[in-house]
Amino acid sequence: MISSGADLQVSVSRQQQYILRSDAVSWREVDGEIVALDIASGAYFSVNGAGRVLWKSLVDPVSVDDLAIALSESFSIPKEQAASDAAAFVDDLLERQLAEALV
């Protein structure tokens, strides 16, 4: 995950569709991790593991429920835990303005 470790106040809808903002972030997959540049701030960061699965899913419109399924299947974790993790990840991306909710 890309969180700074602080508790996030998740405010995303599990059915709403979200997508990465291609105008806000440039990224590549390198050796099993995502290396990304926040274009506005110039900051680089990377995600791997579960974050990589979520990130790649967010290239196309996807709901938190669908992200949870992808996490649950990839890492054999309970769906509710996967949904919580996916929602926190999306919330973090929204806060950083690297993803957006579709109407």
Mean pLDDT, the chain, whole residue set: 90
- For residue 88, the model assigns a pLDDT of 95
Q: Are 21 and 99 in contact (CB under 8 A)?
A: yes
Mark the ranges of the chain whose per-residue pLDDT is less than 50: 1-10
pTM here is 0.86
- For residue 103, the model assigns a pLDDT of 82
- For residue 4, the model assigns a pLDDT of 40
Radius of gyration for the chain, computed over Cα atoms and rounded to the nearest angstrom: 13
First-to-last C-alpha distance (Å) of the chain: 25
